[in-house]
């Protein structure tokens, strides 16, 4: 399961330059969800214990949740609210620049949290 999540995340990173940022973010969320579920299953002690590994796992889960929130802000609109496609802010507007910056920051924060978690495991 862990290898599967790593493969999915690697593929998402490789194709990131070829697609809209919201799709890359979505793929990162999907891969992170699988990876974090796997890590929680491998380390059930983290539900009650404190350690560097458990702290990193908690931070990675929080970073994934923040990424989900950033995607929701970036895609907010009538189609997205109804369960449809992303409605990103109009290109070149201040709203687009702010939402895009927040989405990219959330993706970077999750990626760093995942690297820290993997480092604590090894």
Predicted local confidence at residue 96, as pLDDT: 93
> Which of 109, 104, 102, 94 minimizes the C-alpha distance to 20?
104
Residue 62: in which H helix or E strand, if any? helix 52-75
User: In 3-state terms, the chain is what percent helix, strand and coil (to 5)?
Assistant: 80, 0, 20
Residue 82 CA to residue 64 CA, distance in Å, equals 23
Given a cut of 80, whether residue 106 has pLDDT beyond it is yes
Q: Report the helix count and the strand count for the chain, using DSSP H and E.
A: 5, 0
Predicted local confidence at residue 41, as pLDDT: 96
Residue 9 CA to residue 29 CA, distance in Å, equals 9
Model pLDDT for residues 3-26, shown as the tens digit of each residue: 444 444 444 444 445 678 999 999
pTM (2 d.p.): 0.80
Given a cut of 90, whether residue 55 has pLDDT beyond it is yes
**In the predicted model, what is the mean pLDDT of residues 62-69?**
97
**Rounded to whole angstroms, what are the CA distances from 6 to 24, 27, 33, 66, 84?**
15, 12, 11, 20, 28
């Amino acid at each position: 399961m862990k290898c599967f999540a790593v493969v999915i995340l690697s593929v998402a990173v490789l194709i990131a330059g070829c697609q809209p940022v919201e799709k890359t973010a979505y793929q990162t969320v999907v891969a992170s969800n699988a990876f974090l579920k796997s890590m929680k299953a491998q380390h059930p002690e983290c539900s009650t214990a404190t350690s560097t590994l458990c702290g990193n796992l908690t931070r990675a889960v929080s970073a994934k949740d923040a990424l989900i929130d950033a995607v929701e802000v970036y895609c907010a609109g009538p189609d997205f609210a109804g369960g449809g496609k992303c409605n990103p802010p109009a290109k070149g507007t201040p709203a687009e620049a702010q939402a895009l910056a927040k989405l990219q920051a959330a993706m970077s924060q999750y990626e760093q949290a995942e690297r820290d978690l993997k480092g604590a495991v090894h």
